[in-house]
């Protein structure tokens, strides 16, 4: 067991004033949040005070995390390390038994997911990039966690084909009602997101054991892969289940602008790269515009881009007036966006958290203690305290 050398001494707290802002009026099919450069839409909003506590430092590109039933945390580092973190002492153990990981570009060890019935079955799911022939692709495996070892590993899914590009792997995982949802990016090639014979740019759905569900939208249809649940995605790195409706929400990177929050529908086409609210880096139109028949509009799009990461719904009462919020992590804007969400899924006000910390927020999760935890890219595990 190793102790972060300065964990106790470096438990630092900073009180932050967090400004709220209002959303623009909803359009017929999407809601556009306040643009940061749109002075006419700005307003003072309310103020909220929270404390940010650094729990661990000097992490190596932390990417994903999830909680065990006893409150311990499983945390991934992109170079290929999974850590078991004990709250209170904030000691860490490296987990053995991981398969080889291709830590290249944006690839590496990515998300980790604890089975909802872990106390009975000990299953842990994880996604990572692997080298196949001359290319890289996304793989999802599961294994049983025994102490600090992964045993009985099963490789459940490998995205096809592999590509030489080292970017846009996705890759978030969600288990809901016995189904495993997997997000895979377009691998930086764009066109495969519209190709139903390619896993890139898709949200995929398997059973928790890795089989293809009989009611997947493309089962039995020629010219389509049966694992596909939805398509036309650019690089989705956030996924969460709405606590009331049960709908699956996904956050994905746009290019320059055009980050999206989408509600998944089976078989739906979310448009990339044919339609987008973003543009080429440095300027220039992508695709055919922002709308096209047969292609879904986002629930929310962000201009300028947030570089969205992990998302989670907050339904607890630890933070005053935060009930029924969507938390969206941001790497470019170095913050967490809190969106008020009504029971019917409509969006209310937006509050911008942590923007003056200057840390890229890769993932955000609500812990079993009702507190919000976040991974600051390349460095820290932090916690927000009221």
What's residue 206's pLDDT?
A: 98
Stretch 136-164: mean pLDDT, rounded?
97
The number of angstroms, rounded, from the C-alpha of 65 to the middle of its chain's C-alpha atoms is 10
Instruction: Determine the 3-state secondary structure of 164 from DSSP.
Output: coil
Q: What is the pLDDT of residue 36?
A: 32
HSE (side-chain half, CA atoms, 13 Å) at 9: 4
Out of 168, 199, 233, 253, which one is annotated catalytic?
168
The predicted structure's pLDDT at residue 346:
84
- pTM confidence score: 0.89
CA distance 305 to 315: 26
Cis ω before 304 (30° cut-off from 0)? yes
- Structural tokens at position 82: 């999974």
Is the peptide bond between 205 and the residue preceding it cis, with omega within 30 degrees of 0?
no
CB 324 within 8 A of CB 312: no
CA distance 206 to 217: 12
* Percent of the chain's residues with pLDDT above 90: 75
SS3 at position 355:
helix
Residue 48 has pLDDT above 50, yes or no: yes
- pLDDT category of residue 173 using cuts at 50, 70 and 90: very high
DSSP state of 234: S
Does residue 38 have a pLDDT over 70? Answer: no
pLDDT of 114 higher than 60: yes
Concerning whether 233 is annotated as a catalytic residue, the answer is no
Structural domain boundaries of the chain? 62-311
* Count of all residues that appear for the chain in the document: 386
pLDDT value at 250 more than 70: yes
**Mean pLDDT computed over 226-236:** 97
At 61-77, the pLDDT tens digits run 999 999 999 999 999 99
User: Using the 8-state DSSP alphabet, how is residue 192 labeled?
Assistant: G
CATH number among 2.120.10.30, 3.40.50.920, 3.40.50.261, 1.10.3720.10, domain 62-311:
2.120.10.30
């Amino acid at each position: 067991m190793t102790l972060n050398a300065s964990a106790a001494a470096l438990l630092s707290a900073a009180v932050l004033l967090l400004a709220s802002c209002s959303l623009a009026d909803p359009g017929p099919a999407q809601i556009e949040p306040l643009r940061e450069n749109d002075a006419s839409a700005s307003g003072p909003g309310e103020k909220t005070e929270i404390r940010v506590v650094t729990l661990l430092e000097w992490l190596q590109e932390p990417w994903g995390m999830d909680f065990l039933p006893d409150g311990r945390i499983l945390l991934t580092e992109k170079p290929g390390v999974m850590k078991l973190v004990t709250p209170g002492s904030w000691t860490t153990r490296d987990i053995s038994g991981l398969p080889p990981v291709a830590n290249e570009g944006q690839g590496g060890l990515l998300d980790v997911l604890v089975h909802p019935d872990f106390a009975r079955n000990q299953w842990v799911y994880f996604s990572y990039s692997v080298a196949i022939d001359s290319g890289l692709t996304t793989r999802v495996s599961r294994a049983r966690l025994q102490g600090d070892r992964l045993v009985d590993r099963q490789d459940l899914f490998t995205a096809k084909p592999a590509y030489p590009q080292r970017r846009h792997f996705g890759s978030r995982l969600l288990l809901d009602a016995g189904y495993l949802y997997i997000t895979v990016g377009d691998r930086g090639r764009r066109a495969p997101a519209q190709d139903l014979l390619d896993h890139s740019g898709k949200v995929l759905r398997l059973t928790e054991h890795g089989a293809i569900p009989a009611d997947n939208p493309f089962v039995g249809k020629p010219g389509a892969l049966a694992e596909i649940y939805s398509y036309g995605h650019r690089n989705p790195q956030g996924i969460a289940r709405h606590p009331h409706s049960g709908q699956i929400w996904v956050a994905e990177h746009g290019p320059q602008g055009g980050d999206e929050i989408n509600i998944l529908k089976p078989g739906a086409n979310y448009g990339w790269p044919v339609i987008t609210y973003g543009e080429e880096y440095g300027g220039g139109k992508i695709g055919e515009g922002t709308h096209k028949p047969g292609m879904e509009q986002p629930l929310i799009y962000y201009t300028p881009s947030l570089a969205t990461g992990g998302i989670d719904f907050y339904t607890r009462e630890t933070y005053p007036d935060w009930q029924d919020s969507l938390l969206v992590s941001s790497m470019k804007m170095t913050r967490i966006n809190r969106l008020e969400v009504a029971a019917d899924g409509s969006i209310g006000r937006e509050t911008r958290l942590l923007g003056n910390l200057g840390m890229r927020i890769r993932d955000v999760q609500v812990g079993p203690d009702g507190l919000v935890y976040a991974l600051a890219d390349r460095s820290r595990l932090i916690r927000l305290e009221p």
